Structure 1
C-alpha cells in the first residue's frame, strides 16, 4: 500500500453514518472516495457533496449518493487533499484545478480533514506554485500585472491552450518559492478585480492525515 493510499483510506474512518460529506479532488483523496464507495455498498448511509467534475464521475461510478452544495445547510465533514501544508495547518491547494469549489465546500463544513503524503509537509508555503483562478476577460492583463510585481506568473495550459476550470475560468500559477506573509498575500489577491479565488487555504484544516511508511500520522490543530 502506498503512502497516498494509507492516508486516504485512514481518513475514511472519520465518516459516520448519516453524515453529509464533502468529497475532495486529487490523487490522495481518490483512495478515500474508493473506501467510502465500499462502505456505502456495505450499508453506510451518507450524502456526498462533490468538489469537481472528476470527483462527481468517480463517486457516481461507486454508487455514492450526491447532493448539490445548495441543497444542504451544513456539511459535517470534508476530506480533501493539499499540495503543501505548513505546521500551522495552512495549505496551498489547487494543483488539480478545483480550488474554487474546494474552498466553497470547505467553508460550509464543520470539520475539514486533509490527506497528504509526507512530501507535502513543509516549514513554509510557496515552493509549490500558488494557483490563482481568474476570469478569462482581462486574464492577460492580470498576468502582466503579476509579472510587474515579480511574482513569476505562468498561465496554466493544457494541450497548448489555457487550462479551463470546471467553472470556466483560467488559472495563473505564481512561482513564489517562499511565502513569508500568507495572510497579507491572501488579502491582496482577494482585493484584485478579476481574481475569483486563490489556492491559499489559511486555517484550512482541522486535522491532517499523513501517509507515513510505518502507518498514518495524525496532526491536529492546536
Structure 2
C-alpha cells in the first residue's frame, strides 16, 4: 500500500470514533484531510466541527460541514488528528503543518484524542522529526538561543521560496529543533513552555493521544492509553 492509501485506511477507521450528534475537533495536515473527506460522507450525523487551522476550516466548509468557533462550544466529544511522530506512551510530535498551537488548544478541551497515522510515525524515541516551537516574533532569537542550549539544532522555518520567516495563523514564527533525543517528553514540554515568548511547543505529551490508529500493510492497528 502507498502512504496515501495507509492514510486513507486510518481516516476511514477513525469514522468509528465519531460521536453522533456531537461536535468533532478536526486536525490539520494530509492525514487529517483524508479524514475530512471521510467525515463528509456522514456529515448529517454530527452537530458540527471545530477546526485547528484556517486551512482545515476551509476544507470542512467546502464539504458543507458546519465549523464553530471554539469560544461558542461547551464541549468537544473527540479530537481527530495526525502526528509527525508518536511513541509507545502516546506522546507525539506535531506541528509539521504549522498548526500546533490551535491543535493543542482543541485537543486540550476534547474528551478524547484519536491520533491517525501511517505506521512509519511510530517511533521508540521522539526527536528524529524536528520539534516545532511557535514563538512571538520579537522573542524568536532569544528563544532560539535557549533551544540551542538544550542541545538541539534550531532553525527558523521560512516561507517556501523565501528567506522570510513563515507566519502561522496566529501571527507567530516557528523554530524547528533537530537533533533531539526526547526521552522524557513531558519534562521537555514543560521546559520549553516555560521559555518567555514561546506560544506553544509541538510536544503533545502532558496531553497525549488516547487512541492511535496506525495504517500498516497488515491493516489498521489500534493502540490505546488511559486518560
TM tier relative to shorter chain: over 0.9
Q: TM-score, normalised by structure 2?
A: 0.93
Alignment of 1:26-175 (within 5 A): 26-40=29-43, 43-158=44-159, 159-160=161-162, 161-175=164-178
Shift of 1:146: 2.5
How far apart are the structure 1 equivalents of 2:150 and 2:68? 41
In the alignment, the residues of structure 2 paired with residue 171 and residue 77 of structure 1 have an alpha-carbon distance, to the nearest angstrom, of: 27
Q: Post-superposition shift, 1:124? A: 0.9
Instruction: Give CA deviations for 1:18-48 in whole Å, capped at 9, x if unaligned.
Output: 01100110111111110111212xx323210
Per-residue CA deviation, residues 170-215 of structure 1 (Å, 9 max, x unaligned), is 0101113411222221111111100010011014111001111232
CA-based RMSD? 1.3
Q: Does 1:207 align with 2:211?
A: yes
Counterpart of 1:21 (choices 19, 24, 31) is 24
Which residue number in structure 2 is paired with residue 184 of structure 1?
187
- Assess if the C-alpha contact under 8 Å between 2:84 and 2:121 holds in 1: yes
Superposition TM-score, scaled by structure 1 size: 0.95
CA distance in 2, matches of 1:83, 1:29: 12
> Contact 2:23 / 2:46 at 8 angstroms: preserved in 1?
no
Matched position secondary structure for 2:30: coil
Q: CA deviation at 1:122?
A: 0.3
Runs of 4+ in 1 over 4 A off after TM superposition: none
Shift of 1:65: 0.7
Question: For the Cα contact (< 8 Å) 2:22–2:47, is it kept in 1?
Answer: yes
Q: Gapped runs of 5+ residues in structure 1?
A: none
In the alignment, the residues of structure 1 paired with residue 120 and residue 69 of structure 2 have an alpha-carbon distance, to the nearest angstrom, of 33
* Inter-partner Cα distance in structure 2 for 1:194 and 1:68: 25
**Number of corresponding residues:** 220
Q: Which runs of 5+ in 2 are unaligned?
A: none
Q: Deviations over 1:128-175 (max 9, x none)?
A: 111110000121222233334432100011131111110000010111
SS in 2 for 1:138: helix
- The answer on whether the counterparts of 2:152 and 2:180 sit within 8 Å (CA) in structure 1 is no
What SS class does the counterpart of residue 213 from structure 2 fall into?
Answer: strand
Given that 2:92 and 2:126 are in contact with CA atoms closer than 8 Å, whether structure 1 keeps it comes out as yes
Determine if contact 2:8/2:31 at 8 Å carries over to the other structure.
yes
